[in-house]
Amino acid sequence: MQYDNLTECSRCESDACYIQEITSEIKLEFCYGCGFQSHSLMKPGTEFFIEQLALLPDLYKSLLEEEEDTGKVWMPSFINVPEKGMVFVDGTGRDNWRWAGVKAVPVEKKEKKKYKDAKYRADMSTIKHFEERDFMEALSYIGVLPE
């Protein structure tokens, strides 16, 4: 049984948590209110969780949150829409971070080799920071959601 649902986030209590059941064993949760995500395989000790820890930057690791009652782990999202831009966490640690939005710009002809023939690149001069509960504003800033 596969379903999609918008519900209250168990992490931040926003009413903008998108739940998608992939299989009876795998349920994805993505909260547009706080920008964190989780799924049924994201629990300490699982193979998936161990693989994620090996790949995550230190800042993302410091922001992981485990729910006491379910054991589910929430992690901050990283959004990359090549023709629009990126949204990611930026900061120095758990007590000093914000969402960052960076717009994408077309790669100029002279830059094609440097960017391996990509059509767009992140323009770091457009970086703008947003507070934790302003994840949707960061998505609007790069043009993924309407303003």
CA distance 71 to 100: 28
Average pLDDT, integer, range 47-62 = 94
CA distance 68 to 22: 24
CB atoms inside a 10 Å sphere around CB 99: 27
- pLDDT bracket for residue 120 (50, 70, 90): very high
Average pLDDT, integer, range 58-70 = 94
- Tokens representing 117 are 């023939």
Name the amino acid, one letter, at 125. Answer: S
Residue in 91, 111, 36 with CA at minimum distance from that of residue 66:
36
Q: Each residue of 85-111: pLDDT tens digit?
A: 999 999 999 999 999 999 999 999 888
CA distance 66 to 123: 34
- pLDDT bracket for residue 4 (50, 70, 90): low
Residue 112's pLDDT is what? 85
Residue in 36, 131, 32, 126 with CA at minimum distance from that of residue 86:
126
CA distance 116 to 49: 31
What percentage of residues in the chain have a pLDDT greater than 90? Answer: 76
Q: Where are the domains of the chain?
A: 3-76, 79-141
